């Protein structure tokens, strides 16, 4: 393949020496890893509960393990299915609402503690706790009363838990303050007469305050004695103005008054058994139990070091196939095999380097010069040349049956733009529809992405058996201009800004859309490029007009895309709200009939397409460059590639590197 590398030198030769020298210096005394790949941008966290992106997910899935784990189907390795992991098996009740997981004997945390069902009781309480502000909390709201726990939805007569404001460190959620159990007898809301609609919801600004009268009960061996003697106590919500407390001179400050966690459908009858009670049948719950934000964390570690110190390499306690040996910010995370992992004998790679390389040009350069085995982002401009290289190399003697380096496959993922619907004139659906109709998406996939992507008119990508999205309108600049004129009454549209995180691909797409909106709608469009961490914060704070986004299905069901955009949804981040949409998504959650449920979700997607709080651009394909000597790497709809099953064919590696002049 020497000739093929030379063929790409005009693109990359000026970078090769500089990149090689830079990474050689950054490696310092670290010996080369058995396997090296680009993880894209710097992961923002390795805390499962606080993670949201693919760079975080790849690392978390390597160092932690959930009840189940997504693995290649033995019958079709290109299909990923949940397989037993920290749970060795499970059963489902006849009504499909109760899952009983049986924990794996002998599984250990890296601090030597056994992995038990109690780890999920603690971790999912932490995940659901309102103070965690977990963006994926709604993914566990399928569990009985989980949503009520997260949102602080309590009523008179409920069993509640009151956390006093006596933490040693208020900035740290764990260890929690003193927790008192009781029956909620009365709620006084201030200002007096404030309605429920004025009460604060999860993540919203407090506009009214509450005082709670609770009949507190004693505890025995850590368990509330609900039938025991009760003592009345009064608690006030942290932050309440003192003027409201004149009627409650003996009130005590409480950080939280929540539905008692024992009312949530997470039960631990013994340390090796975890029972989950759902609100309604959830056909993809096993997929959720495999999803990396739902992995358990070690309580001892978190309560010892607090967040974020517990995630430092020298402190972190994990239970997955790998451990973090070293982390160099903006350089790499070095993973080493975890000798205490229950299936360590099947983990073939001793060390793995996950490089923080945002530039896809740099990624390809490093791949072609032999510095990595897997590149996760390739410049669109050279895809055709790379396809030709793969075809030509098979003409060389001995390479006829060699797998291609370039792997392109369908993917359950959508590239779209979020629109901040709280900012005029973007709060007008006609403006958003005009923006959508003025984007020539075919031009983007033909001349920018160039990997076989499909223009998108809706959010849910193709590939989900039994589901077909609503009909959508295609590129129509004339209609777009008419809609914009109707919405603005003939006035000129104000300048708007497109926000995107650092990536050559995102920049190219934003530049094309900038030109199309200027040409078709005469709008002045500015581009704003920020690093991944800043991008996440900016979008979360809704400090944008239009922001690029992408979503990979967490499980093969349209709900994983559509339930993001319910009112107040943690991943909504558009400010959009629609009661009909919310009702359809909510009804679909409890609908047992698959066909009826899909019809509800289709109707919901039709509302989304009509209102356009997002602008769908295209449906992804996965594009990876992977050395042919890397075994067990299978393209799949979710672009998931468990690191612990990868293996190097050393004999083939030596041959390929010799052929390519890399030795």
The alpha carbon torsion through 149, 118, 108, 91 (nearest 10 deg) reads -90
Number of other residues whose CB lies within 10 A of the CB of residue 3: 12
- Residues 601/409, Cβ–Cβ less than 8 Å: no
Q: Quote the longest CA-to-CA distance of the chain.
A: 90
The CATH number assigned to the domain holding 613 equals 3.10.105.10
Question: Would you say residue 282 lies in a domain?
Answer: no
d(CA 41, CA 50): 16
Q: Which residues of the chain have pLDDT under 50?
A: 1-7, 9-11, 13, 16-17, 20-21, 23-25, 196-206
Question: Would you say residue 527 lies in a domain?
Answer: yes
Q: What is the CA radius of gyration of the chain?
A: 27
**Pairing mode of beta strands 252-259, 159-164:** antiparallel
Closest CA to 323 of 303, 290, 301: 301
DSSP 572: T
Question: Would you say residue 582 lies in a domain?
Answer: yes
pLDDT of residue 295: 98
Question: Would you say residue 651 lies in a domain?
Answer: no
Question: Would you say residue 233 lies in a domain?
Answer: yes
Q: How many distinct structural domains can be found in the chain?
A: 2
pLDDT of residue 247: 87
The whole domain housing 460 covers 410-621
Question: Would you say residue 232 lies in a domain?
Answer: yes
Among 215, 249, 264, the domain-final residue is 264
- Over residues 421-462, the pLDDT tens digits come to 999 999 999 999 999 999 999 999 999 999 999 999 999 999
Among 264, 298, 322, the domain-final residue is 264
Closest CA to 55 of 36, 41, 70, 69: 41
- Over residues 470-518, the pLDDT tens digits come to 999 999 999 999 999 999 998 999 999 999 999 889 999 999 999 999 9
Grouping H, G, I as helix, E, B as strand and the rest as coil, residue 270 is strand
96's CB contacts (< 8 A; 6+ apart) are 278, 281, 282, 283, 592
Among 264, 286, 309, the domain-final residue is 264
**Pairing mode of beta strands 454-455, 322-328:** unpaired
Question: Would you say residue 181 lies in a domain?
Answer: yes
Could you write out the three-class secondary structure of 32-86?
CCCEEEECCCCCCCCCHHHCCCHHHHHHHHHHCCCCEEEEEECCEEEEEEEEECC
How many Cα atoms sit within 13 Å of 200 on the Cβ side?
16
d(CA 382, CA 360): 11
The neighbouring-strand residues paired with 209 are: 190
Question: Would you say residue 520 lies in a domain?
Answer: yes
Distances (CA, A) of 615 to 592, 603, 646: 31, 18, 37
């Amino acid at each position: 393949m020497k000739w093929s590398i030379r063929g790409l030198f005009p693109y990359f030769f000026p970078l090769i020496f500089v990149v090689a020298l830079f990474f050689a210096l950054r490696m310092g005394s670290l010996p080369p890893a058995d396997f090296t790949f680009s993880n894209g941008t710097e992961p923002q966290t390795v805390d499962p509960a606080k993670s949201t992106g693919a760079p975080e997910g790849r690392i978390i899935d390597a160092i932690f393990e959930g009840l189940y784990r997504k693995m290649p189907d033995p019958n079709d390795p290109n299909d990923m299915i949940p397989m037993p992991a920290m749970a060795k098996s499970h059963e489902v009740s006849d009504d499909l609402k109760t899952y009983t997981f049986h924990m794996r004997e002998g599984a250990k945390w890296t601090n030597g503690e056994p992995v038990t069902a109690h780890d999920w009781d603690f971790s999912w309480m932490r995940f659901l706790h309102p103070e965690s502000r977990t963006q994926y909390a709604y993914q566990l709201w399928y569990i009985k009363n989980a949503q009520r726990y997260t949102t602080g939805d309590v009523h008179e007569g409920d069993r509640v838990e009151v956390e006093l404001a006596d933490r040693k460190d208020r900035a740290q959620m764990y260890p929690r303050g003193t927790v008192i159990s009781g029956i909620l007898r009365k709620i006084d809301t201030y200002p007096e007469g404030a309605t429920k609609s004025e009460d604060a919801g999860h993540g919203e600004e407090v506009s009214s305050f509450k005082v709670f009268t609770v009949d507190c009960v004693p505890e025995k061996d850590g368990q509330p004695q609900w039938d025991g003697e009760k003592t009345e106590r009064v608690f006030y919500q942290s932050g309440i103005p003192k003027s409201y407390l004149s009627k409650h001179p003996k009130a005590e400050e409480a950080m939280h008054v929540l539905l008692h966690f024992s009312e949530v459908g997470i039960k631990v009858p013994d340390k090796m058994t975890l029972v989950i009670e759902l609100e309604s049948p959830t056909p993809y719950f096993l997929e959720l139990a495999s999803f990396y934000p739902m992995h358990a964390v070690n309580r001892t570690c978190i309560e010892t070091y607090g967040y974020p110190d517990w995630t430092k390499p020298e402190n972190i306690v994990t239970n997955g196939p790998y451990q973090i040996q070293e982390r160099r910010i903006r350089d790499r995370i070095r993973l080493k095999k975890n000798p205490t992992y229950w299936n360590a004998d099947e983990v073939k790679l001793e060390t793995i380097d996950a490089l923080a390389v945002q530039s896809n040009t740099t990624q390809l350069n490093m791949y072609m010069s032999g510095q990595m085995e897997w590149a996760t982002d390739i410049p669109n401009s050279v895809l055709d040349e790379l396809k030709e290289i793969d075809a030509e190399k098979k003409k060389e003697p001995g390479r006829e049956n060699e797998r291609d380096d370039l792997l392109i496959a369908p993917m359950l993922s959508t590239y779209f733009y979020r629109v901040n619907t709280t900012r005029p004139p973007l709060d007008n659906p006609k403006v958003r529809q005009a923006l959508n109709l003025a984007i020539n998406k075919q031009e983007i996939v033909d001349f920018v992405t160039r990997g076989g992507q499909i223009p998108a008119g809706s959010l849910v990508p193709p590939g989900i058996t039994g589901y077909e999205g609503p009909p959508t309108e295609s590129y129509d600049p004339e209609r777009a201009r008419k809609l914009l004129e109707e919405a603005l009454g003939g006035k000129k549209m104000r300048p708007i800004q497109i926000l995107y995180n650092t990536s050559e691909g995102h920049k190219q797409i934003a530049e094309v859309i900038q030109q199309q909106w200027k040409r078709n709608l005469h709008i002045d469009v500015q581009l704003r490029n920020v690093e991944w961490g800043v991008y996440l914060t900016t979008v979360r704070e809704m400090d944008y007009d239009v922001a690029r986004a992408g979503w990979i299905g967490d499980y093969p069901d349209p709900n994983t895309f559509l339930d993001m955009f319910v009112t107040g949804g943690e991943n909504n981040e558009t400010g959009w709200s629609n009661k009909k949409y919310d009702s359809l998504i909510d009804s679909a959650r409890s609908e047992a009939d698959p066909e009826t449920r899909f019809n509800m979700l289709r109707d919901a997607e039709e509302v989304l397409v009509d209102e356009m709080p997002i602008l769908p651009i295209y449906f992804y394909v996965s594009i990876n460059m992977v050395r042919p000597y890397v075994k067990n790497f299978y393209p799949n709809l979710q672009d998931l590639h468990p690191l612990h099953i990868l293996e190097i064919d050393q004999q083939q590696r030596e041959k390929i590197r010799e052929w390519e002049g890399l030795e």
